[in-house]
Structure 1
C-alpha cells in the first residue's frame, strides 16, 4: 500500500486517476538561470520513507505522515487555506488527494483478504 501511494503521488494523480490541479503560475522574477519556470514534481519530500509512515497492530493498518510534514499534507489533502510564508498572504490550496484508495488498491486488499481467509 505504501509503495502504491508513493507511486501515485509521484505521478501526481488522485486516487480516482485524475491529475492533480496544476500549480499557480509564478511571477517572472522567480525564473531560474535558463529563463524557464521551475516545474519540479510536487510533494517530492512527502514521498520519502522518513515522512510517510505505516503502522500496524492487531486491529489494522494505518498509513499517514509523520511530524511537521503532516500539517502540509493535511492542507493539500483537504484543500484548506494556509499562509504562503510567515506573515505572508493566505492562499486556499486546491484539494490534491495524497492518501486514498484507487480501484487497483481496493482489488489488492480484497485479494489479500480472501487469500488470508481461505488459508
Structure 2
C-alpha cells in the first residue's frame, strides 16, 4: 500500500505544484471529505481497511443482563462530531478528535487498558483498524485529483 501511495504522490506531485495554494487546499478538502465518508462506511460495516471484519465483542461474564449485545461498535465515533477532517495546501487529514483519541488508539493498535476508572482491571483489546487506506481509497484520490485538474484546464 505504501508503494502505491508513493506512486500516486510521484504522479500528482509535478502537476499539483503548478496549482496555487487555494486550489490545492480545495482539492485536499475534497479528498479528505471523500476519505472520511469511505472510513465512515467501513466503520458502519464493521470492516477493517483490508476488508476483514472486526473481531466481535467478548461475552461479558459480569453482565447482569442476559443475551447478546446487539448494538454495533463505534456508533458515535463514525459521526462528523468525532471524525474530523483538516486540509491545507500540503496535506489532507482524517482523524478523531482528542476526547476520543485515547479510545480509538487503544482499539486501533490492540493495546491493554483499564476497563473503568474505579477498578484496576485491565483488558487486552483486539486490534480493530478504524482508519486506513484500501485500493478503493486510492482510486477515489486519483479520480478526484484528475477531475479537479481537468476543471482547471
Compute the TM-score of the two structures, normalised by the length of structure 2: 0.70
Shift of 1:18: 0.4
Match of residue 42 from structure 1: 73
1:5 to 27, 39, 48: 39
1:100 to 122, 125, 132: 132
1:27 to 61, 79, 94: 61
Match of residue 145 from structure 2: 113
Distance 1:47 1:23 in 2: 18
Determine helix, strand or coil for the equivalent of 1:17: coil
Q: Does 1:78 align with 2:109?
A: yes
Structure 1: unaligned runs, 5 residues or longer:
none
Q: CA offsets per residue over residues 72-107 of structure 1, 9 Å max, x none? A: 001111111100111331111111000001211111
Change (3 A) 1:92 1:4: same
Shift of 1:67: 2.4
Q: Which has the larger radius of gyration?
A: 2
Change (3 A) 1:107 1:79: same
Match of residue 68 from structure 1: 99
Relative to total residues, which structure has the larger strand share, 1 or 2? 1
* Number of aligned residues: 116
Distance 1:30 1:45 in 2: 24
> Which structure would you say has the larger RCO, counting Cα contacts within 8 Å and 6 or more residues apart?
2
